[in-house]
Structure 1
Amino acid sequence: MLIKKWCKAMQKEIDALEANQTWDVTDLPPSRKKAISSKWVYKLKFNSDGTLETHKARLVVMGNHQKEGTNFKETFALVAKMTIAPRYWFSKLSTALRELGFTQSYQDYSLFSLRQGELILHVLVYVDDFVVNDLHAINEFKLQLNKCFHMKDLGKLKYFLGIEVSRGPDGFCLSQRKYALDIITEVGLLGAKPSLVPIEQNQKLAYVKGPAFDNPEQYRRLVGRFIYLTITRPDLSYAVHILSQFMKAPLVAHWEATLRLVRYLKGSPTLGIFLRSDSELHSSAYCDSDYKACPRTCWFLSAYIVYLGDSPISWKTKKQKTVSSSSAEVEYRAMAYTLKEIKWLKALMRTLGVDHPQPIDLHCDNQATTYIAANHAKLIATQHISTSDQVADLLTKALPGSTIARLMSTLGVGHYVPPT
């Protein structure tokens, strides 16, 4: 029975490739060039409630057999900034959308916008999946696009790329509940005692010595899955940043620290970000840094959280390849790093038809830095805050459980209720 279903899935993929004229038959170039082979990739796709949705088969080119500089000189992997689409597919799709009157965003090339009178339609593309913002205009959009592609309407957005969407009268909640539970199940810790913190305070993982972990591929896979989970879980950012530094040669101690993160997830798999519908369209940001984040390189760690109204929409933890001589300089560089994201978001808002003429409040808990960073262009307005109110602390250091809970509440992170 399974074999028949996979054969049906493969035939469906072939039919789609032929219908969309994805390939051209051509001769190999001279000089003994070899054709790149292909392979079938099989995957079971599940609904957010864990039930089987479909059998999915993909015919993919084995680009890993190519060598940069020998077989190709450029790479192309366009995805929605979330911060891969085959080049030919995306070229055809973007051409079709532009012919329908859509304009491609310079801030995010996967975002297309259409404005016709009172109609404002935004389409976000991720490989061959679409998110469209206007249900009333979607029927006409589907009719037009169906002339070029075979499409399936999945209805109101509930589950997209592992992210579950729950609607309420006050706004949207984004969560990766099922994805989190899959991680816990994969490691075999569904029955484990939850941890109150994602990573130990005063951890010395950079200096730890001991035996090497005998399955580094498993370590890399688990940390990689956690990286994707930070899309809706800012509380994981710092721990994931630390653990991702040992991907090359993890030790047993690093694996044990990763399992602690899984046990922390066990205690809070339903946490998600709440995006309020009544928020003002005014942005604000918080930035922070850790002066001695990496004792080996002396590079500092910087992080930011950006809000739209009362809702967090962007956050990141990153080690900067810079050695600074003072905490004020570190904080100033962290502020400059945050400013890049602010400028990008402001331009993106303009693409979405939201003007933001007033300066964006940028909060920092270093008094000296707020004086140094006077902004005469009025793009930002620096604001000094106390360390206890610095929500970006969550992304730069290991904190006690009580502080994590308080900052998560301030961020607007709460437990997610699955849609019915």
Structure 2
Amino acid sequence: MEGPPGFSDDFQENEVCRLKKALYGLKQSPRAWFGKFTMAMKRYGYKQSNADHTLFYKKRGKLITCLIIYVDDMIITGSDQEEISSLRRNLFTEFEMKDLGGLKYFLGIEVLRSKEGIFISQRKYILDLLAEVGMVDCKPSDTPMIINHKLKIIEGAKAANKERYQRLVGKLIYLAHTRPDIAYAVGVVSQFMHNPQEDHMEAVMRIIRYLKGTIGRGIVFKKNSHLDAEVYTDADWGGNPNDKRSTAGYFTLLGGNLVTWRSKKQKVVSLSSAESEFRGIAKGITEILWLRKIMKEIGAPFKRPVRLKCDNKAAIKISENPVEHDRTKHVEIDRHFIKEKIEDGTIEIPFVKSEDQLADILTKAVGTKAFELVLSKLGIGDPTTQLEGEC
């Protein structure tokens, strides 16, 4: 360790500072650690991504090496084996590191590899959650939430344990990282964190019972012959019984694999179903722009417009119609934003029927292969490596 600025010159040999407070107790310690790590990576010739500041990459001709960090856990991957080995040596020299080998378990997410692709799930996380709530032997539920649930805050209703409710919902939110099938249900129950009631707690327990019957589900990433992007957007109109706001969601497919998804209640009340769909399209486009940016940085830019699929003809017509009128003047910013991206060739908005859209998503994106089935087909040879470091 070095002496504080202004005191360094007064230190004699064998003199030390007495540290009165641990480094991990300081509010600025994460910033200091990440700042030092960033400077080290830049010295090694890596660039920090502008789309995701936790991503560092380095190109050598057609080869690329990527490192992504979460606090002090790192994943290294890429096509440049020589650079990967060099980076590991440099990190071991400057930081205290542990090489955990091939990526198998990262932040509660299990990673399995086979000839068919990569399968990620949170099986152990679900089992731990079931054990915590004492529902290991519970009867599974067929769906995560009742159709047309109409959950809302009822005046005078019996309150649930607020601390327990918040803890369970927080775990479910993290679990949605590999389970898009519960994203909507978790989004609904998270709206009552400030004042949970018994009905809300029952909805949370139904999600947990659904997980009991689908423990082995997750997402499969297959190696396909293209890197085309597709986005599916949808929204319900006035579906929230408390404030009549709509809920919009989108799925993003890259190379035929599901990479991002979201289900979120809109911030304003929509006056028509077309308007709620319209705002959902705008959110889907922002995700496309982020994906375009990050793919361009790592050397795989999109070669054709992204197809954003919507099931509302009125919203599509408004996107393409340059005429201003009373029904669209209150969504003017979103309208011009969408129209601009259509004109510059960033996106296309074809119409797709609701039933076709759902079937397409299920067949292309959501991997439901059982954990044991993937485990029996494990392969070897993936260059992905996980590291853990300490400052």
Q: 1:61 aligns with which of 22, 25, 49?
A: 25
CA distance in 1, matches of 2:26, 2:182: 33
- Residue number among 167, 170, 173 corresponding to 1:221 in the alignment: 167
| Structure-2 change in CA distance of 1:272 and 1:296 (3 Å) | same
**What is aligned with 1:211?**
158
Q: Which residue matches 2:189?
A: 243
**AA partner of residue 274 (structure 1):** V
Q: Structure 2: where are the runs of 5+ without partners?
A: 8-19, 321-341, 379-391
Counterpart selection for 1:254 from 187, 200, 209: 200
Say how many residue pairs are matched: 339
Match for 1:365: what amino acid? D
Aligned to 1:156: 102
1:114 matched to 2:24? The reply is: no
**TM-superposed deviation, 1:418:** 4.1
Provide the C-alpha distance between the structure 1 equivalents of 2:63 and 2:200, rounded to a whole number of angstroms: 53
8 A contact 1:220–1:247 mirrored in 2:
yes
**Deviations, residues 145-200 of structure 1 (Å, cap 9, x unaligned):** 22211211111111111111111112111111111111111111010000001011
> How does 1:252-401 map onto structure 2 within 5 Å?
252-374=198-320, 375-391=342-358
> Which protein is richer in helix relative to its size?
2
Matched AA of 1:183:
L
Given that residues 142 and 151 in structure 1 are in contact (C-alpha distance below 8 angstroms), is that contact kept between their aligned partners in structure 2? Answer: no
Residues 172-187 of structure 1 aligned to structure 2 (within 5 Å): 172-187=118-133
Give the Cα separation in 2 of the matches to 1:129 and 1:410: 31
Tell me the distance in 2 between the aligned counterparts of 1:320 and 1:118: 42
For residue 136 of structure 1, what is the aligned residue in structure 2?
Answer: 81
Deviates more, 1:122-131 or 1:295-304: 295-304
Match of 2:42 among 69, 91, 98: 98
Q: Please list every run of 5 or more consecutive structure 1 residues that lacks an aligned counterpart in the other structure.
A: 1-17, 28-36, 40-58, 64-75, 77-84, 392-402
Contact 1:289 1:303 in 2 (8 A): yes
Q: Distance in 2 between matches of 1:287 and 1:62?
A: 43
3-state DSSP of counterpart to 1:146: helix
Contact 2:257 2:364 in 1 (8 A): no
Take 1:351 and 1:359, find their aligned partners in 2: how far apart are those partners? 18
User: What amino acid sits opposite 1:116 in the alignment?
Assistant: R
Query: Are the aligned partners of 2:248 and 2:266 in contact in 1 as well (CA < 8 Å)?
Result: yes
Q: Does 1:123 align with 2:77?
A: no
What is the one-letter code of the residue matched to 1:129? Answer: D
Q: How far apart, in 2, do the equivalents of 1:86 and 1:297 lie?
A: 39
Closer, same or farther: CA 316–216 of 1 in aligned 2, 3 Å: same
Structure 2: how far apart are the matches of 1:229 and 1:372? 37
Tell me how far apart the structure 2 counterparts of residues 354 and 410 of structure 1 sit (CA, whole Å): 21
SS at match of 1:304: strand
User: Are the counterparts in 2 of residues 162 and 178 from structure 1 also a CA contact under 8 Å?
Assistant: yes
SS of aligned partner of 2:24: strand
Paired residue for 1:31? none
Matched letter for residue 81 of structure 2: H
**How far, CA to CA, are the matches of 1:207 and 1:379 in structure 2?**
42
| 1:398 corresponds to | none
Deviation at 1:118, TM superposition (A): 4.1
**Compared with structure 1, are the counterparts of its residues 306 and 235 closer, same or farther at alpha carbon in structure 2 (3 Å cutoff)?**
same
Q: CA deviation at 1:269?
A: 0.9
| Distance in 1 between residues matched to 2:142 and 2:225, nearest whole Å | 31
Deviates more, 1:95-104 or 1:165-174: 165-174
| 3-state SS in 2 of match to 1:373 | helix
CA contact (8 A) 1:101 1:114 kept: yes
1:38–1:255 distance in 2 versus 1, CA, 3 Å: farther
Q: How far is the alpha carbon of 1:389 from its aligned partner?
A: 2.0
Q: TM-score, with normalisation over the residues of structure 1?
A: 0.76
Kindly indicate whether the alpha-carbon contact (under 8 Å) linking 1:306 and 1:315 is maintained by their aligned counterparts in 2.
yes
Partner of 2:367: 413
Shift of 1:204: 2.1
Give the Cα–Cα distance (whole angstroms) in 1 for the partners of residues 259 and 110 of structure 2. 16
Q: Give the aligned residue type for 2:290.
A: W
Verify the 8 A CA contact 2:252 2:259 in the aligned structure 1: yes
One-letter code aligned to 1:413? G
Aligned residue among 112, 115, 120 for 1:169: 115
Indicate the residue corresponding to 2:10 in structure 1. none
CA contact (8 A) 1:281 1:309 kept: yes
Residue aligned with 2:203, SS: helix
